[in-house]
Amino acid sequence: AASRVFAFRDARWAPDPVLEPGAAVRTPQPVPLVIDNGSFQTRAGWASPDPAVPAEPLLRFRSLAARSRGARGGAGAETQVGNDLGSPEPLRWLLRSPFDRNVPVQLELQELLFDHVFQRLGVASQGCVDHPIVLTEAVCNPLYSRQMMSELLFECYQVPKVSYGVDSLYSFYHNRRQNWPCSGLVISSGYQCTHILPVLEGRLDAKNCKRINLGGCQAAVYLQRLLQLKYPGHFAAITLSRMEEILHEHSYIAEDYIEELQKWRSPEYYENNMHKMQLPFSNKLLGSTLTSEEKQERRQQQLRRLQELNARRREEKLQLDQERLDRLLYVQELLEDGQMDQFHKALVELNMDSAEELQSYINKLSLSVEQTKQKILQAEVNIEVDVVDSKPETPDLDPLGSEQSLEDVESINEFEPLFAEEQPEVEKPVAAVQPVFNLAEYHQLFLGTERIRAPEIVFQPSLIGEDQAGIAETMQYVLERYPKEQQAVLVQNVFLTGGNTMYPGLKARVQKELLEMRPFQSPFQVHLASSPVLDAWYGARDWAVEYMTREEGWITRKDYEEKGGEYLKEHCASNVYVPIRLPKQAPRTTEALAPSRALTSSTGNPCEQA
C-alpha cells in the first residue's frame, strides 16, 4: 500500500532566461520564428535547416498573465507572464488569458505574450521584428480574430511576412507517411476544445469539421468538484494545479466505461488500483514528537503564565477593595464628626441599615486587603524560585471564602487541563504517546473511479450536464456525411493529437468505437502522434523550413495593406479562406423616386392616406 502513495510535486515554474540567438539565426537572412499559440501553453523557437540552430522549442510557458495592483509605496502595477508567475495558485484570481475557448480575443494580453517571446528569444532588431512569423490559429478561425492578429503583427511589430496554420494539421503534417498528400480523420483534443477534422488529399474539408466544447480544462474542474465533495475538510487544498497533475499522471480512459465501473465495485480491484495522493501536512500537532526536556520547559512556562495571571488578578482585586474600603472609612468619619444627615444619606446610597453593618463591612474588607497583600508578596517570592516539581502547587485559598479566593479557584480550574497529562511523577516513554488517528492518512486523497470519470467527459459530456455529443457520436456524424468510398479512405488514417489525447487507453477506446460503428470486417487504422503536445510546433517548423524561400502560404505586408487583415494565403496545413462578401444594394434612381413623389404630392399627408 505504501508504494501507491503519491506526493504532489507542486512544482514551481522557473523564470525563462533571456537567450542569445546565434549568428545562424540572422545570416544569410533572418530565419522564421515559429510560435505555437495554444490556449494552454505557448511554444516558440527558430526554424532553420542549420544544425547549429536547435530544432526544439526554446520557450514553453503557460498562456497566462497577471497584473498586480501596485505597491503602497508608489510603485506601479507589475505584469508577469508565463513562467515568471512562479505558481498560479496564489494569483488564481488575478490570472487572465487572451483566449475565449481557443480563439484569441484579448489582443492587449496577446501583445504581452508576444513581448515575452521576442524579449526572451533575444530579438534585438530596433523598432521591429525582422523575422518571418509562423503562427498557429484555431480551426475555422473567425475573420475578426485573424484581422486583429494581423494588425498586431504588421502594425505593432512590423514583421515582414506571416503565415497562419492549424496546430492539429501541422501535427498531422509532421507525422505524415511516405505517400503525401494523404487523407485521414484528425481527432484533436486540447485544453478547451475537441475537434474532428476530415482531411482529403492533404487539404482540410472545412465544411464538415465539428467541434466539441470540452477539453482538459473542463476535466480538471470536474475532478476538482468530485474531490471537494468527497473531502470537504480539504476544500482549499484541492486546487486546479493539483487536479491537472492527477489528470496527467494518474488518469486513464476506460475501454468500456460501464464494465470498468463494475470492476471498481470489487474490493480487491479497488485496493489494487486505488491511488493515494498525499497532501502536505505538519507533524507539529503530534504530542509524541516532544522530548521530556521540552515537556518540562513547556510545563514551567505554563506555570509561570498561571502565576502571572493570578498576580495580575490579585492586584486588580486589591485596587478595587482598597477603593471600597476608603469609601466606607469616609462614611465612618462622617459619623464621628457628627454629620448625621450626610451619614444617613451615605448609608442609603450604600444600601446599609445601621452603623454596626457598616463596621462589619469595614472589618471584612480590611482583612481581605491584608490577605491579598500577603499573597502578592508570597507570589513574588515564588516567581524568583525555579520550579522543579512536575505538579504545580495550588495557591492557598482564602479561609473566609471571600470573592477574591473564588476567582483564584476559577483561574486554577481553567488551567487544570494543561497539567492533567503530567500528574504521574514517573515519565512515560515517548513511544507510548500515540495520536488519536494517523495524521498522514487523514491528509490523503483516495482516487478510485475518479481516475476514469474525469477524462470520460469527452466521450460522455452528459456526465457534467453538457448537452453535446461525444467523440464517438461526432466522429460517426462526420463520416456519414461522405459516401462509403471516402469513409473507407478516412478511417484508414484516424490520427489522434493534442495534449488531451495522452491518456492511457484512449487509442484502444477509439478503436473500440470504430469497431462498433463500421461495417463488419471493414479495415481501419488509428495512429497516435509521436509527441501529441509538441508535434504541432515540430510540424510548423518543418513547413517553415520547406517553404522558407517560396511565396506559397506567406502573407506579406503588401498583401495586408491591399487585401486587409483577414486575408489568408492557403497551404497544406491552413484554414480555408472565405472572404467577406457584402450584399450589393441596388441604387435608387431618380426615375424610381419620381412616381412616389408625385403620389405624395397628390394625396397630401401620407399619414392620412394610410
Q: Where are the domains of the chain?
A: 8-167+534-563, 216-281+444-528, 295-380
Domains 8-167+534-563 and 216-281+444-528 share a fold: yes
Q: Is 246 helix (H, G, I), strand (E, B) or coil?
A: helix
Give the C-alpha separation, 321 to 327, whole Å.
10
CB neighbours (10 Å) of residue 306?
Answer: 19
Report which of 171, 162, 105 is spatially closest to residue 130, judged by C-alpha positions.
Answer: 162
Cβ partners under 8 Å of residue 289, min gap 6: 283
pLDDT of residue 290: 62
**Which cell numbers in the block locate residue 484?**
462509403
Burial class from Cβ neighbours inside 10 Å (0-12, 13-18, 19+) for residue 376 reads middle
Which residue's C-alpha cell is 397630401?
604
Residue ranges with strand state E in 401-469 = 444-447
Report which of 451, 450, 455 is spatially closest to residue 471, judged by C-alpha positions.
Answer: 455
Report which of 219, 214, 206, 122 is spatially closest to residue 166, judged by C-alpha positions.
Answer: 206
Strand order in the sheet with 95-96: 79-81, 65-67, 95-96
Is residue 387 within 8 A of residue 300, CB to CB? The reply is yes
Which amino acid would we find at residue 115? D
pLDDT of residue 403: 42
Give the C-alpha separation, 22 to 26, whole Å.
8
**Which cell numbers in the block locate residue 7?**
506526493
Cβ partners under 8 Å of residue 591, min gap 6: none
Q: What pTM was estimated for this model as a whole?
A: 0.72
Q: Is 20 helix (H, G, I), strand (E, B) or coil?
A: coil
Give the C-alpha separation, 165 to 174, whole Å.
13
Q: Is 508 helix (H, G, I), strand (E, B) or coil?
A: helix
Give the C-alpha separation, 248 to 239, whole Å.
15
Which residue's C-alpha cell is 521591429?
128
What is the fold of 8-167+534-563?
Nucleotidyltransferase; domain 5 (3.30.420)
Q: Is 59 helix (H, G, I), strand (E, B) or coil?
A: strand
Give the C-alpha separation, 12 to 92, whole Å.
14
pLDDT of residue 587: 64
The DSSP result for 86-124, as a single string, is: S-SSTTGGGEE-SEETTEE--HHHHHHHHHHHHHHTT--
Q: Which residues of the chain have pLDDT under 70?
A: 1-3, 69-76, 177-180, 284-290, 382-437, 582, 584-610
Q: Which helix (H) or strand (E) covers residue 336, if one does? A: helix 292-336
Q: How many residues does the chain have?
A: 610
Which amino acid would we find at residue 489? V
Q: How far is CA 464 from the centre of its chain?
A: 19
Work out the angle between the directed axes of helices 506-517 and 471-479 (0-180°, nearest 10): 40
What is the fold of 216-281+444-528?
Nucleotidyltransferase; domain 5 (3.30.420)
pLDDT of residue 416: 46
Is residue 315 within 8 A of residue 435, CB to CB? The reply is no
Strands 33-37 and 133-137: parallel
**Which cell numbers in the block locate residue 198?**
476530415
Is residue 41 within 8 A of residue 244, CB to CB? The reply is no
DSSP class of 463: G
